[in-house]
Amino acid sequence: MKYASCIYRVLNHFTDNSCWHLNRSAQDFQDYRNSLTAQWDDTAAADINARFLGPHAEDEARMRGFLERKNVAIQQLCEKLNEVERVNDQIRSLSEKIQQALVACEEDLRRSVTNYDFSHNRKNDAEARIPQTIVLLNTANQNEFSPTY
């Protein structure tokens, strides 16, 4: 939004000034031409009007139409740029959330590996003590049936 609105303001300023000057100059020219109509009432004036001034007015009208279409295109471009900026902001926000989730997952993974290592060591210790435990149980079972007085 920050870029599109700035670009639009700058382009709109230049376009508005250009259009205003163009419209003013065209209107001044047409007013001058109309004021001379009474004085220019011969075949030479008709020839000049047909060959030069008429096409000039047509060119000016086409040029103003082009400028109007350009203004519409600039406005549409700025709207699209605003949309791109909004999407970019959303992407940035989601990227930050993904980054935070990734850090949390890495921490969970680290804790899981630590817990796995701990439990694996405890299991190995327990398995290593099984033979000794069996011997102690057997000894205890034998001593239970043979009283020592």
Tokens coding 120: 């694996």
Mean pLDDT over each residue of the chain, to the nearest integer: 83
0.75 surpassed by pTM = no
Confidence of residue 15 (pLDDT cuts 50, 70, 90): low
The single residue listed with the structure tokens 């935070």 is 100
- Per residue in 71-121, pLDDT (tens digit) is 788 888 888 888 998 999 999 999 999 999 999 999 999 999 999 999 999
The pLDDT, as a whole number, for residue 146 is 59
Residue linked to tokens 């239970």: 144
- Domains of the chain: total: 1
Question: Which structural domain range is residue 83 located in?
Answer: 2-145
Query: Which backbone phi and psi does 40 adopt, to 5 degrees?
Result: -100, 85
